[in-house]
Structure formats: C-alpha cells, structure tokens
C-alpha cells in the first residue's frame, strides 16, 4: 500500500522521502522535522526539486479555499439525504490535518469531526481532480492498511504524525428512509469518523478513497 503524500508541518522526514508542495515534487536530502516556514521551497538545505511538472499531471490534489467557495472541479465525495452534493475537505485542528466535508450551502466553511465534536473550519483545502482517477473501496471495522493493495489517498495526519485517509459512510437522518453519504476520515486502527449533527460519529462499515490502478 502507498499513499499520495503532501508536505506537512510537524512531520519527521527521512532522507529520500518524496513530497508534493505548491505544484512541485521534492526529495528530502537529510533527516529533519518539518516546521512552520520550513516548507520545501524555502528550506533548500533539506529538499531538492524532483519533478516540477508532476503535480499538473497528478490525478487529484488539494487546493485552498474558504467558506462555500467550491471550485468547479472539486470532487464530490457524497451527498445529503436530499441529494445536495458534499465535497471532500480538510483543515487544521489542534496541530493535525483532518478530513471532513463541505457543501455549497455552508457559508461558514467545512465540517470536520474532532474530539467528539463537529468542528466548523472556515479556511480549508478541498480535493480536486478527475473522477475517473479514483474509486471507493469497502472497509469494515478498524482500518487495516496492510490488508489492502490499493493506493490510498492521504488526506491528512494526526498531530502525532499518524496518516489519515479519505473515507465516507452512509447516514440515515431521523425520520427519513433515504441515507446520505458523508465524507470523513479513517486511519490505521481506526474506523470511519464523520462530522454529523454537531457530533463526531464513528462507523464500522464505510468506504475508503483510492487511486485507480492505472494511475
């Protein structure tokens, strides 16, 4: 199993690690822990450019936005029970980069689960790219990364450095029969965590986003 990795603050990088940052791919030249302001474009003592064109060819990537300003090529990760599209978002909370969801109806930004709550994040990143490049695979119970051959799409990291992947789960609203499908996050040894109804809800049955094999 491999993952699509972007440079992140607070991560211990080893020599040879490949990351994506601001449209370029970089390779670490020596071990170090990343810090604010020490991104690859600035910290030339730690990084060398590997391929500046690869990101333009990448099937999916993250871009910054705010409120309900959703790019035209944003990837729809699910929908409300009434059919309103939900897109895949991620934002910083307590030193970690966490995956959640956003709607064009939410002027105040993305909804992300953390610490048992649904957190609103006004400034966030949204996943964009080609729908033909991705697919969802079923998972059940705590995520066992070693049981999958697919390339997971890494959405973020816990503050401790553990990876978080893009996931989604079905939720049936009270009084309704039709479920919604809500984007959230899953990680090694964790089930799917989704922000819903002001809470962080956990699901044993869910799906995880992966790249198609041809990518």
Q: Where in the chain are the domains?
A: 3-57, 60-211
pLDDT greater than 90 at residue 195: yes
pLDDT for the residue 213: 66
- What would the two tokens of residue 189 be? 């040894």
Q: Once rounded to an integer, what is the mean pLDDT over residues 89-109?
A: 94
Extended beta strands in 2-59, E state = 3-4, 12-13, 18-21, 24-28, 32-33, 47-51
Mean pLDDT of the chain: 86
User: How far apart (Å, rounded) are the C-alpha atoms in residues 114 and 183?
Assistant: 14
pLDDT for the residue 121: 95
pLDDT greater than 70 at residue 36: yes
The radius of gyration computed from the CA coordinates of the chain, to the nearest angstrom, equals 17
Q: Three-state DSSP class for 95?
A: coil
Enter the pTM of the model. 0.74
pLDDT for the residue 53: 45
Helix (H) / strand (E) containing 54: helix 54-57
Q: Once rounded to an integer, what is the mean pLDDT over residues 21-44?
A: 78
CB neighbours of residue 37 within 10 Å: 8
Q: What is the largest CA-CA distance in the chain?
A: 58
Residues in the chain: 215
CATH architecture of 3-57: Ribbon (2.10)
User: How far apart (Å, rounded) are the C-alpha atoms in residues 33 and 99?
Assistant: 22
Q: Once rounded to an integer, what is the mean pLDDT over residues 58-68?
A: 83
């Amino acid at each position: 199993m491999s993952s699509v990795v972007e440079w992140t603050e607070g991560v211990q990088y080893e020599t040879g690690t490949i990351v994506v940052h601001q449209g370029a791919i970089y390779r670490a030249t020596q071990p170090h822990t990343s810090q604010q302001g020490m991104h690859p474009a600035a910290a030339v003592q730690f990084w060398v450019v590997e391929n500046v064109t690869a990101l333009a060819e990448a099937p999916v990537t993250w871009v910054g936005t705010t409120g309900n300003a959703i790019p035209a090529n944003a990837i729809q990760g699910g929908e409300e029970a009434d059919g309103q599209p939900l897109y895949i978002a991620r934002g910083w909370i307590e030193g970690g980069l966490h995956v959640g969801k956003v709607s064009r109806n939410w002027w105040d930004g993305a909804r992300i689960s953390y610490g048992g709550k649904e957190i609103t994040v006004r400034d966030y990143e949204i996943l964009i790219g080609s729908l033909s490049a991705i697919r969802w695979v079923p998972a059940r119970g705590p995520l066992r990364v070693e049981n999958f051959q697919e390339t997971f799409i890494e959405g973020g990291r816990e503050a401790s450095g553990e990876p978080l992947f893009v996931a989604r789960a079905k939720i049936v609203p009270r009084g309704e029969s039709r479920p919604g499908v809500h984007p959230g996050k899953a990680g090694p040894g964790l089930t799917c965590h989704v922000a819903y109804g002001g809470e962080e809800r956990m699901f044993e049955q869910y799906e995880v986003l992966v790249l198609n094999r041809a990518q």
